[in-house]
Structure 1
Amino acid sequence: MISVPGEPSGPLSAAWRGCVGTGRLDLALRRDYQDSLALLQRDIGFRYLRGHGLLSDGVGIHRPYEWQGARRTHHAFTYLDQVLDACLGLGIRPFLELGFMPGGLASGEKTVFWWKGNVTPPADEKEWTDLVRATLTHLMDRYGADEVRTWPVEVWNEPDLPDFWPGADEPAYHRLYEATAYAVKEVDAGLQVGGPALSPGADGWMGRFAEFAERRDVPVDFVSRHAYSSGPAQHVPFGAHQTLAPASDLLDQFAEPRRTLEGTRLEGRPVHITEFNSSYRPDNQVHDTAFHAAYLAPVVTAGGDHADSYSYWTFSDVFEESGIPTALFHGGFGLLTHRQLRKPTYHLYAFMARMGEQQLARGDDHLVTRHADGRVTVLAWAPVDPTGETPGPDRHTLRLSLPVGTAPGGTAFVRRSSVDEERGNAYTAWRHMGSPRSPRPGQLDILHDASEPARAHHRLPIEDGRTDLGLTLARHEITLVELTPVHDETPPWWDERRLLGRESP
């Protein structure tokens, strides 16, 4: 039995909901994208949204043209305004990633992803910084300086990888960062600019970025990196399989920037993990499973110890880096499929959104919080075996003694919501259906029903302000338990033994 303290250890960190990832930004023009984002914000309520392609041709800001024998540049914000209006209308702000390179400004033809984002440096640095200034000036004019100053501005994405920056040329990235950061500050000194948005394998880059920033006295308001825990991809048609490190490896990656920057000029700057997940592949079936939710539970609940935000990559399978999805469930990054089916990891976040403001306790398999109105909430999860050598235990037992009020006696109303291999798991139902690539409307209805968490209700006795909660979790289960002291208003004449008109014994 674990005795949970009656007094909070402090507020529950909100870093888990600080940001979430998305496919390229112009996908936000689509109805299914906006429907998915609306559902996400209703159930979870992320604060920021980060994705690639802000300056790519799909958004169409940079528009070079010829006039009177000279090359000129027009900046068009038609799509950008629609994207940001939609997001802000749903209560989520942009985490601006400056990239990739517009085709008319690119120094080369190297691209990444199915949608061909150009990843080469600018052919003309002044034209690039003009683009950055014009974009941010437009945003300040349209949405107001006080609002836009709250939007972080990140320079590029994973420049340590040749896929995203030719030759992973570090000095060239530093030059781009310096020119871009000064352009941002020229628009408004209060804008928050940072980087370098490193991949998990960028050993040494963060320290050298801090040295460069100090040597050149370059503005850096926050630092960013990414975190994934999967090994090399084992490819199959339209999919990939990978080994996974223990989930604690992700927390170690979250902690790396603060360790590396200790003693540098950048020590104490906010740390944003602007992408994280288990696998870095958008076609790894693990993303769709109950295992995935239980695997990430200790990361989502404890990541705030190490970073100011950590952005799950991504919120939806409306995502096309490897091409258009080939099936409803295809291993996409999303918390939601492209038809708004909620995956088990979606429920992990939705459960977190129902936790209280004050943290009472946290352990290897549980988090306990209290709401301002006195309700106590418990998030618990079953342990997993990330090696895949075993399926994990069939059952996991947790016993907690919880503070649930000040009255000497009485009862607590207990509401439990659960997701595991069978319950709250549309992926399992889809597999039972025969894995239909394009489910018919009736099948979709069944899958939406299957994605609902299992729910149960009962009462527990309260003695001396505490109640004992025993939980038995199935394999890969995550469960949310909400406990509220009962104020019993049952009339004295109510007798359920007489429902059929019989006299009381």
Structure 2
Amino acid sequence: MSSSTSDARSDWEERIGLRSGEARRGRVPRLPAPAGLTARPGRSQVTLTWEPVEGAAGYLVHRAAEPGGPYEPVDHLGRDVLAVPHPPYADTTGVPDRQAWYAVAAVAAVEAIGELSAPVPATPLAGTGGEVRITVGSRDVVRELPRPWRPMIGSEHLSHMLCPDLSGGRPIGRELTEALRIARDELGVQTVRAHGILCDDLGVYREGRPYDFSGVDRVYDRLLEIGLRPVVELSFMPRDLASDPALTVFAYGAIISPPRDWDRWGDLVQSFTAHLVDRYGAAEVRDRWSFEVWNEANLEVFWGGTPEQYVRLYDVSARAVKEVDPALRVGGPSSAAAGWVDELLAGAREPVDFVSTHTYGSPPLDLRPVLERHGRAGTPIWWTEWGVTPVHFNEVSDAVFAAVFLARGMKSAGGRIDALSYWVASDHFEELGRPAELLHGGFGLLTVGNLRKPRFHVLALLERLGRHEVAVDYDGDGAGSLVEAWAAGDDDGRITVAVWNGTLDQSKAAGEPLLDRQVTVRLTGLETGRYELRHLRVDREHSNIASVWGRIRDGGAWPTPDQWETLRRADRLDELHAPRVVEPVAGTVETVFHLPMPGMSFLELLPRR
């Protein structure tokens, strides 16, 4: 590791939790306590449910050893936002046979926590043998299946696509480009959100010279060649325009300073936008592109100014974009931990065409009530970063746990979030230094070498769900909280069901046999005839490249040519067992299987004509 990379990582670790200032909050109520809290014990878990609270963006679960407290938020080790958007919540952090007391608070915003509910007791059960029963109504259509992963995915700064260097002996630029193409082809992704398009490596701004957008053109041309469009994050600050160019983030020295000349920044944004419209066409940019102002300005590590200066940056930037074409989409605050949404909506003078924010370690909160209280109901909600952990080089990112986490978040987001962008597509990523070995806890869905991690496979399976979401009913130990299902059908009679077993509790990321479940799935409402039943699986031993690498690795950080070949042969979705032909009895097919935690099964029932 170079000294500059080491310095960047140390700086990051010291400052990542620091806020860039206390913003004036706009119209955030203190919410009443949720009513109807119940706590249902199961094997090594307690499932909590409660009644919704009007105006709540989420809920924070608390626990205490005694009914009188003290009550502390249940820490599932997501290292970011602990609140969840809705019940039920499966707490797996307790000790079997040890009673605890639970209370829940509604949150109007991340730092606006309401009153605690009346507490209820529960004792997680010891032993194994939990069972879950799932009934899928193949004719009970709920809606067209929402696919919040399709609109957007995250990536390293896109100039990395032009990088000629090698990482682990693999060509960085070519493989990053290929990773984004794979995301488009196999996951249905449409746009890419990334940092740093105005950074000095693309040479856009030099004092005393005309703007030079040729480097940006090379980047965006390559992106469009593979069928993707950019979310143009207006960041970071060119050195010659920065009020303090010594303020940087990341190993590549992105400058986080406000501009020294606000008018010049506005002119740069306007000229940049006009260039994009001229080069790629007004209809193209208007309909398929968007502009996001900065990245996580509510963190000191990303913004060297005040909260008020960020709102000014937003207004200056949005005005500059709209002067080119009022129909171009611009939004923010692109904040960490779901922060500053109220502040931007209350403080911005220019339009906010979409609200964007980030969170890690929990399903994304529900921002619809936030928009409603600002009179902006219906504004698109984009989670432009989301993932299992905000921590670089964290082994959970390569684990099956992250795959199941992804499934839970995507289902939760369906129908209430317009875009949920997983951060990021590829392990070709250099924010705090390039990868030191194949599986290093990188953020990518794909490894260096473009091997598919378990969470890529899970997202690909969700993409294979049918067109029409159908009803699912649950019963059993952790049903609907620990074990969830998402089912859909197609007009040709094909039925698909994704079933997963997972907790938010990252202390169980390596697996927990006490949370394994015996699952029965009943598919009802089927036509008479013969069907082929396929059962695909993602777990520790299936569709898990880490398991294969662990068996063949001989101490090296990177595979040898022969090992690469072995890994490529294993880079696939695995079947739990061979496909079999089944015939419905009274319109019903039933299948029973063991589902480990973490793990996911994908059932596909295909009519045989």
Query: Which TM-score band applies after superposition, normalised by the shorter structure?
Result: 0.7 to 0.9
The answer to whether residue 303 in structure 2 is matched with residue 303 in structure 1 is no
Deviations 1:319-356 (A, max 9, x none): 10011111111101000011111100000111111111
CA contact under 8 A between 1:45 and 1:91: conserved in structure 2? no
1:193, CA displacement in angstroms?
0.7
Aligned to 2:341: 206
Question: Could you tell me which of 13, 20, 32 is aligned with 2:153?
Answer: 20
Aligned to 1:417: 536
Distance in 1 between the 2:327 and 2:568 partners?
Answer: 45
Aligned to 1:152: 290
Aligned to 1:82: 218
1:208, CA displacement in angstroms?
2.1
The answer to whether residue 380 in structure 2 is matched with residue 260 in structure 1 is no
Distance in 2 between the 1:381 and 1:415 partners?
Answer: 16
Which stretch of structure 1 is more off in the superposition, 76-85 or 324-333?
76-85
Q: How does 1:153-172 map to 2 (within 5 A)?
A: 153-167=291-305, 169-172=306-309
Q: Which has the higher contact order (CA 8 A, sep 6+)?
A: 2
1:285, CA displacement in angstroms?
0.8
Aligned to 1:477: 599
Which stretch of structure 1 is more off in the superposition, 260-269 or 169-178?
260-269
CA change 1:284–1:111 in 2 (3 A) is same
Question: Could you tell me which of 116, 123, 139 is aligned with 2:253?
Answer: 116
CA change 1:369–1:201 in 2 (3 A) is closer
1:380, CA displacement in angstroms?
1.3
1:404, CA displacement in angstroms?
6.5
CA contact under 8 A between 2:140 and 2:471: conserved in structure 1? no
1:201, CA displacement in angstroms?
6.3
Q: Partner of 1:8: helix, strand, or coil? A: strand
1:80, CA displacement in angstroms?
1.7
Task: Letter of the 2:249 partner, please give it.
Answer: V
Q: Partner of 1:457: helix, strand, or coil? A: strand
The answer to whether residue 573 in structure 2 is matched with residue 453 in structure 1 is yes
Aligned to 2:511: 391
CA contact under 8 A between 2:401 and 2:502: conserved in structure 1? no
CA contact under 8 A between 1:401 and 1:469: conserved in structure 2? yes
1:77, CA displacement in angstroms?
2.3
CA contact under 8 A between 1:383 and 1:396: conserved in structure 2? no
- Which 4+ stretches in 1 moved above 4 angstroms? none
Name structure 1 gaps, 5 residues minimum. 65-70, 230-249, 488-505
Distance in 1 between the 2:438 and 2:134 partners?
Answer: 42
Which stretch of structure 1 is more off in the superposition, 44-53 or 193-202?
193-202
CA contact under 8 A between 1:199 and 1:226: conserved in structure 2? yes
CA contact under 8 A between 1:136 and 1:187: conserved in structure 2? yes
Identity of aligned pairs, percent?
A: 36
Name structure 2 gaps, 5 residues minimum. 1-132, 163-172, 473-479
The answer to whether residue 588 in structure 2 is matched with residue 466 in structure 1 is yes
1:228, CA displacement in angstroms?
1.0
Aligned to 1:442: 562
CA contact under 8 A between 1:369 and 1:378: conserved in structure 2? yes
Question: Could you tell me which of 539, 546, 550 is aligned with 1:427?
Answer: 546
Q: How does 1:225-304 map to 2 (within 5 A)?
A: 225-229=357-361, 250-251=362-363, 253-255=364-366, 257-304=367-414
Aligned CA RMSD, in angstroms, stands at 1.9
CA change 1:175–1:326 in 2 (3 A) is same
1:39, CA displacement in angstroms?
2.3
Question: Could you tell me which of 204, 208, 220 is aligned with 2:352?
Answer: 220
1:442, CA displacement in angstroms?
0.8
CA contact under 8 A between 2:202 and 2:215: conserved in structure 1? yes
Distance in 2 between the 1:95 and 1:61 partners?
Answer: 18
CA change 1:201–1:373 in 2 (3 A) is closer
Distance in 2 between the 1:145 and 1:451 partners?
Answer: 41
Using the size of structure 2 for normalisation, the TM-score is 0.71
Distance in 1 between the 2:275 and 2:410 partners?
Answer: 35
The answer to whether residue 182 in structure 2 is matched with residue 39 in structure 1 is yes
Task: Letter of the 1:196 partner, please give it.
Answer: P
Task: Letter of the 1:57 partner, please give it.
Answer: D
Distance in 1 between the 2:308 and 2:572 partners?
Answer: 50
